[in-house]
């Protein structure tokens, strides 16, 4: 009668599987660990206010610069807007803004008209003040200009309003003198190209990339499943590591018992 030998898992094969699983998961575990450590320090590292400037990564995300910028010329300066970003020449104005309707110069100050606000800036794009005007007028601003004496004028609906010297009070203006309304202009090609690149470099926050790397979404539609596989591999590594430890511990106990038996016989 033929005897069938019982098959047992060989520790050597488990060691090999443990090693191969470890090698397969090493890169993914490295990504998970590093991105996890970085994301735990989001506020400290200002990840939400730091942006990716790598063309390779931006191309991977399919991010393009906004086209069709609006622009006004104030003296020798160009005021332009790409999407929600405002620029005074090459200087970016902090924050995001609704579409501007005009820009004029008030001495050293630049006044930019937005649908519900007059934004006051320095010539280098630093915000001086935001004058909310919705409560003084029936509708949104549609134009901005200057009167004969340099008075700031805006159009809201069908009416024109004049600001006082401090831009605090607005009154209906019925003057017949000519108003020099701000008219759009075209940016110089070199400045336009520079600002398009700069605007593109202020779209993708570093925090978003870290989150996508951590979850696997950075690698496309199947990236999440790859990271899920890495988590499963970690579980298998933990299980195989415990099994190998148990096997080694059992062998050591058996070896001690064997040595004790030999000592008793002697």
- pLDDT over 60 at 7, yes or no: no
Name every residue whose Cβ is closer than 8 Å to that of residue 124 and which is 6 or more positions away in sequence: 88, 91
Name every residue whose Cβ is closer than 8 Å to that of residue 193 and which is 6 or more positions away in sequence: none
pLDDT given at position 1: 46
161, exposed or middle or buried, with CB in 10 Å at 0-12, 13-18, 19+? Answer: buried
Q: How far apart are CA 212 and CA 219, in angstroms?
A: 8
pLDDT given at position 15: 62
Q: Are 144 and 113 in contact (CB under 8 A)?
A: yes
Number of Cβ atoms within 10 Å of the Cβ of 224? 14
Instruction: Identify which has the larger pLDDT, 156 or 136.
Output: 156
Q: Which of 7-21, 101-115, 185-199, 205-219 has the lowest mean pLDDT?
A: 7-21
Q: Which of 81-90, 205-214, 227-236 has the lowest mean pLDDT?
A: 227-236
Asked whether the whole model's pTM tops 0.85, one would answer no
Query: Is residue 257 helix, strand or coil?
Result: helix
Q: How far apart are CA 125 and CA 262, in angstroms?
A: 89
Residue 51 DSSP code: B
Convert the pLDDT of each residue in 34-51 to its tens digit: 888 899 888 888 898 899
Closest CA to 195 of 76, 86, 50: 86
Closest CA to 137 of 152, 159, 122, 119: 159
Instruction: Identify which has the larger pLDDT, 152 or 247.
Output: 152
pLDDT given at position 66: 75
Query: Is residue 100 helix, strand or coil?
Result: coil
Q: How far apart are CA 208 and CA 242, in angstroms?
A: 37
Convert the pLDDT of each residue in 112-137 to its tens digit: 999 988 999 998 889 999 988 766 67
Encoded tokens for 171? 């009154």
Q: Are 100 and 112 in contact (CB under 8 A)?
A: yes
pLDDT given at position 43: 87
Convert the pLDDT of each residue in 193-229 to its tens digit: 889 888 888 889 999 999 998 888 888 877 778 777 7
pLDDT given at position 104: 95
- pLDDT over 80 at 17, yes or no: no
């Amino acid at each position: 009668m033929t005897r069938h030998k019982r098959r047992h898992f060989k520790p050597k094969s488990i060691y090999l599987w443990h090693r191969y699983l470890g090698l397969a998961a090493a890169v993914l575990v490295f990504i998970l660990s590093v991105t996890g450590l970085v994301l735990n320090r989001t506020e400290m590292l200002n990840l939400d206010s730091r942006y990716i400037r790598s063309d390779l990564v931006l191309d991977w995300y399919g991010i393009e610069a906004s086209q069709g910028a609006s622009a006004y010329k104030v003296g020798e300066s160009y005021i332009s807007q790409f999407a929600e970003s405002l620029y005074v020449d090459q200087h970016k104005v902090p924050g995001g803004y609704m579409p501007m309707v005009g820009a004029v110069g008030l001495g050293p100050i630049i006044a930019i008209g937005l649908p519900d606000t007059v934004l006051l800036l320095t010539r280098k794009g630093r915000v001086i003040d935001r004058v909310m005007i919705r409560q003084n007028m029936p509708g949104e601003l549609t134009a901005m200009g200057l009167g004969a004496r340099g008075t700031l004028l805006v159009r809201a609906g069908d009416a024109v309003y004049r600001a006082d010297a401090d831009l605090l009070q607005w009154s209906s203006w019925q003057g017949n003198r000519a108003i020099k309304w701000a008219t759009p202009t075209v940016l110089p090609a070199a400045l336009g190209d520079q600002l398009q690149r700069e605007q593109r470099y202020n779209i993708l926050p570093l925090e978003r990339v870290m989150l996508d790397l951590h979850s696997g979404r950075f690698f496309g539609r199947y990236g999440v499943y790859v990271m899920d596989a890495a988590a499963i591999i970690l579980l298998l590594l933990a299980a195989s590591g415990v099994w190998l430890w148990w096997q080694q511990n059992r062998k050591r106990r058996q070896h001690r018992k064997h040595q004790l038996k030999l000592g008793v016989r002697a």
